[in-house]
């Protein structure tokens, strides 16, 4: 059985198809059709809902953290122990919620199809803001598309929503909701099943390892932002899933003197603070990774686990010399991330083995790490090329060189020839030009709808030139790269 709050109503479910998305659950099982389906692929935001989770601050204060998610890519089992809020829950005692009033007063809606999704993104923004902030509003709304209104009135609604916000019914009931969430906090393995299909929800790494041993054919479900597409876009059935998002040990970020350890089930938006503090370019890239809804549910482990050649974090992690800890039963092994990727979607992961955590070395003196993402749109777009450069330059000489790319091969890959040219050489224009030529030996990229092979190779070379120029002239800050 799994349990969650549908706003304030306790739902206990056990005989549901585990392939059921929260979107279809709301619309077809509980008759709440305010949440809309636009794309069913995480691109439009029409299906945005807000999920509340109990959190305890460092000072011991308990509160509920509200986050926007795409309900079209969220399976119901991932609600276990949480609170689901949909657009129907915002109106209270006959009065529109302040974010809904702001949309009306700022003329933020025309045909209205996108409006419930925008309203829910605004609600999450308001819950997480103390004052209007244009950048935060842009970030909160970048995953919501509107084809008729135009975004200016909606951004005005965002500003109004965060101006002098008043406590709402959710604030008034916070203590009561916390008590209810504590009462349903999972204490044993949850399960949702229907016929032969099941999704298991372990709480510890040991339980996860046992379950994966017992069900080696199971698909691991983290944020579901890749996995759910198999159901919503390719109409496949996933007969057995194991949801890793309730395994507390895999959602921790721990800082050590020489490394940061990030649990594989940590949401990308939670990775932001730690990685941005250590490597600002990593933070910058995470801001351009999909949309806030996707980053709130997608995980770092899932971004590695899907083994996509165009995943954004692997090239950066490889350039940083990151390692992953793989767990199978009681056995653990640590692998350099670059050795995890073997061929297109083929990895070194063995049967019943899963990624437990990612180990990222701390920044060192003289280390010059930069990352670049080239995509057709600035927000919510997949990379055509993603580049990460990590050179150590001491007294003008390159003493360590790690260069990695996404989008250039069947796997995220180091540029071995390029690195060999750079290593031990002075960091100057002539050496960089030779390294650019060597990139042609490292990669034979493909042409696809994102970019031609010629464009990809030229972009990779130009990004290396850009890196060199930026390090010579540190006042140049043009790292966020897009093309049209
Ligand atoms: C609209 C949209 C935009 C996107 N934009 C980007 C983007 O800009 N950049 C980018 O890189 N990606 C992007 N993605 C892809 C996706 O969001 C990321 O890859 C995300 O990190 C996947 O994480 P997840 O937790 O949702 O993985 P899931 O979908 O849950 O899982 C993905 C795969 O990894 C496996 N897996 C999950 N956890 C583990 C584990 N602990 N050990 C072993 N295997 C595991 C799963 O079994 C599955 O095969 C986008 C996706 C969408 C829908
Ligand atoms: S329906 Fe478009 S993001 Fe979910
Ligand atoms: S109001 Fe019509 S799509 Fe936004």
Residue 177 has pLDDT above 60, yes or no: yes
Number of domains in the chain: 3
What's the distance, CA 81 to chain centroid?
Answer: 21
- The minimum-distance atom of ligand 1 relative to the CA of 219 is 47
pLDDT digits (tens, 9 = 90+) for 216-250: 999 999 999 999 999 999 999 999 999 999 999 99
Pair (117, 257) in one structural domain = no
pLDDT digits (tens, 9 = 90+) for 392-422: 999 999 999 999 999 999 999 999 999 999 9
Ligand 3 pocket check: which of 110, 152, 157 to mutate, most ligand atoms within 8 Å of Cβ?
A: 110
- The residue out of 183, 206, 222 marking a domain boundary is 183
Ligand 1 pocket check: which of 222, 250, 264 to mutate, most ligand atoms within 8 Å of Cβ?
A: 222
Q: Which of 294, 301, 473 is nearest to 380 (CA)?
A: 294
Specify the residue with its C-alpha closest to ligand 1, atom 15. Answer: 226
How many contiguous H segments (helices) and E segments (strands) does the chain have? 18, 21
Measured from the Cβ of residue 194, the count of other Cβ atoms closer than 10 Å reads 14
* Residue written as token pair 């933020």: 108
Q: Is 74 left (phi over 0), alpha (psi -120 to 50) or beta?
A: beta
Pair (173, 257) in one structural domain = no
Q: Which of 251, 243, 264, 250 is nearest to 200 (CA)?
A: 243
Identify the nearest ligand to the CA of 147 by its number: 3
What global pTM score does this model have?
Answer: 0.96
Q: 117: CA distance to ligand 2 center in Å?
A: 9
Pair (43, 152) in one structural domain = yes
Q: Check residue 378 and give its pLDDT.
A: 86
pLDDT digits (tens, 9 = 90+) for 75-114: 999 999 999 999 999 999 999 999 999 999 999 999 999 9
Q: Check residue 319 and give its pLDDT.
A: 98
**Ligand 2 pocket residues where CB is under 6 Å:** 37-40, 42-47, 70, 72
Q: Is 318 left (phi over 0), alpha (psi -120 to 50) or beta?
A: alpha
Q: Does residue 439 fall inside a structural domain?
A: yes
Helix locations, 79-133, DSSP H: 98-105, 115-127
Strand partners, 84: 6, 51
| 3-class DSSP assignment, residue 255 | strand
Our answer on whether the CB atom of 227 is closer than 6 Å to any ligand 1 atom is yes
Q: How far apart are alpha carbons 275 and 297 in whole angstroms?
A: 17
- The minimum-distance atom of ligand 3 relative to the CA of 148 is 2
Pair (52, 161) in one structural domain = yes
Where in the sequence is the domain holding 309, given as residue range(s)?
248-361
Q: How far apart are alpha carbons 89 and 237 in whole angstroms?
A: 31
CATH of the domain at 335: 3.30.465.10
- The residue out of 361, 391, 406 marking a domain boundary is 361
- The minimum-distance atom of ligand 1 relative to the CA of 143 is 1
Residues belonging to the chain: 484
């Amino acid at each position: 059985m799994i349990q969650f709050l549908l706003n304030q109503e306790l739902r206990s479910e056990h005989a549901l198809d585990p392939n059921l998305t929260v979107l279809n659950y709301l619309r077809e099982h509980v008759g709440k059709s305010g949440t809309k389906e636009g794309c069913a692929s995480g691109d439009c935001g029409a299906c945005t809902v807000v999920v509340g989770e109990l959190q305890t601050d460092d000072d011991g204060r308990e509160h509920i953290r509200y986050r926007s998610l795409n309900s079209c890519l969220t399976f119901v089992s991932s609600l276990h122990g949480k609170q689901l809020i949909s657009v129907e829950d915002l109106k209270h005692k006959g009065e529109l919620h302040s974010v809904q009033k702001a949309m009306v007063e700022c003329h933020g809606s025309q045909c209205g199809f996108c409006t419930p999704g925008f309203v829910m993104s605004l609600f999450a923004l308001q819950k997480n803001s103390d004052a209007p902030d244009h950048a935060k509003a842009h970030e909160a709304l970048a995953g919501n598309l509107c084809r008729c209104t135009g975004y200016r009135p909606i951004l005005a609604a965002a500003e109004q929503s965060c101006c002098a916000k008043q406590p709402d019914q959710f604030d008034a009931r916070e203590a009561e909701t916390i008590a209810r969430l504590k009462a349903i906090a999972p204490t044993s393995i949850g399960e949702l099943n229907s016929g032969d299909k099941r999704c298991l929800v372990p709480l510890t790494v040991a339980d996860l390892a046992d379950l994966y041993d017992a069900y080696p054919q199971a698909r691991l479900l983290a944020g579901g932002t890749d996995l759910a597409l198999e159901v919503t876009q390719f109409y496949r059935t996933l007969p057995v899933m194991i949801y890793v998002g309730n395994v507390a040990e895999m959602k921790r970020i721990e800082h050590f003197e020489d490394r940061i350890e990030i649990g594989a089930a940590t949401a990308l938006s939670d990775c932001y603070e730690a990685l941005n503090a250590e490597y600002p370019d990593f933070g910058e890239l995470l801001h351009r990774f999909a949309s806030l809804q996707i980053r709130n549910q997608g995980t770092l482990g899932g971004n590695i686990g899907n083994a996509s050649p165009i995943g954004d974090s692997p090239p950066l992690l490889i350039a940083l010399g990151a390692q992953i800890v793989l767990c199978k039963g009681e056995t653990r092994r640590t692998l350099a991330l670059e050795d995890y990727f073997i061929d297109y979607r083929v990895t070194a992961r063995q049967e019943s083995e899963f990624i437990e955590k990612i180990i990222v070395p701390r920044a060192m003196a003289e280390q010059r790490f930069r990352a670049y993402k080239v995509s057709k749109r600035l927000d919510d777009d997949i990379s055509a090329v993603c580049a990460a450069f990590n050179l150590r330059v001491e007294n003008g000489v390159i003493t360590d060189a790690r260069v990695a790319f996404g989008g250039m091969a069947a796997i995220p890959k180091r540029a071995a020839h390029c690195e060999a040219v750079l290593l031990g050489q002075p960091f100057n224009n002539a050496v960089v030009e030779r390294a650019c030529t060597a990139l042609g030996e490292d990669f034979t990229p493909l042409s696809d709808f994102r970019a031609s092979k010629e464009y990809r190779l030229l972009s990779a070379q130009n990004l290396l030139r850009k890196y060199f120029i930026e390090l010579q002239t540190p006042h140049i800050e043009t790292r966020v790269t897009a093309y049209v």
